[in-house]
Copies of this chain bind each other. A is one copy, B any other.
Amino acid sequence: MTTDDEVSDASRGPADLVRRRGGGRKSSGRQRSSHSLDAVVSEAVALLDEGGEAALTFRALAARLGGGVGSIYWYVSSKDELLERAADHVLGGVLTATAHLGQGEDPIAEVRELAIAFYAATVNRPWLGAYFLQDTGTQVNGLMFFDRVGRELMRLDLTPRQRLDAVSAVMAYVVGVAADRGQDPPPEVRDGRVPVDEFVSEFRASIRAMDSRAFPFLHHIADEFAAHDDAEQFRAGLDLLLAGLRLQSGR
């Protein structure tokens, strides 16, 4: 699927030599096996979503697939590659979710939608940022997303350099918010065992307990912090970035 390679060597062992920055094609053609690369990656994402990065182990994944640990290495040559493929897998979801975009009048508004869709996929997936677009050979969806954002900017009056910088900035911002949030709320809040209010008000109290001379700004925004919504805050920052871009492009 996707674009896929030319022809010929269609069914070589997926995990061969020529690792990073080279070939690395999918297992195009018939799928005789009970696993298939897609199944391995999908289940890996499922494990990551359920228990975070620590939950993804080769043994847990093998048990989930009903196979042995060694089998996974036929499809993937290392855990790093597995994570890269997992990251690209969820980015594939972002691509299909935003397939309807691209016809709008305002390119920047389109970029905004793309970024928001990307953000939605990174929420609760802090590992995504670390493995996003590391290997351009295997991570085709990441490249496609990068290109889609850039294509919108080609409709704007900018230099190629400005376009490249802008796309990189938007990507970095999304990834950064994901990494920043990370494990922000402690696990007991994550699971819902402790109401969010309690954690937030406790945090506000701990801010108030600090020296207001040393941390004037923290005191200043303590209430806002307690009331803020993550997605809203993401959009606020994104809009700052896009406002600067709009200014640069002269509308």
Interface residues of A (CB under 8 A from B): 2-3, 20-21, 126, 129-130, 132-134, 136, 143-144, 146-151, 153-154, 160-169, 171-177, 179-180, 182-184, 186, 202-203, 205-206, 211, 214-218, 220-221, 223-225, 228, 233, 236-245, 247-248
A217 touches B146 (CB 8 A): yes
Copies of this chain, tallied across the complex: 2
A177 touches B186 (CB 8 A): no
Interface SS, A side = helix
**Closest Cβ–Cβ distance, residue A123 to chain B (whole Å):** 13
A180 and B186 in contact, given A168-B233, A233-B165, A241-B241 (Cβ under 8 angstroms)? no
* Complex interface: chain B residues within 8 A of A143 (CB): 215, 218
Which residue from B186, B217, B223, B240 sits with its C-beta under 8 Å from A169? B240
* Complex interface: chain B residues within 8 A of A217 (CB): 146-151, 153-154, 163, 167
B136 touches A203 (CB 8 A): yes
B215 touches A169 (CB 8 A): no
CA distance A73 to B30 in the complex (A): 53
A134 touches B183 (CB 8 A): yes
B243 touches A248 (CB 8 A): yes
- 27 A-B residue pairs with CB within 8 Å: A3-B205, A3-B206, A20-B186, A126-B130, A129-B176, A129-B180, A130-B130, A146-B218, A154-B217, A160-B223, A161-B224, A163-B217, A164-B225, A165-B233, A165-B237, A165-B240, A166-B237, A167-B217, A168-B237, A169-B237, A173-B173, A173-B241, A240-B241, A240-B245, A242-B244, A243-B244, A244-B247
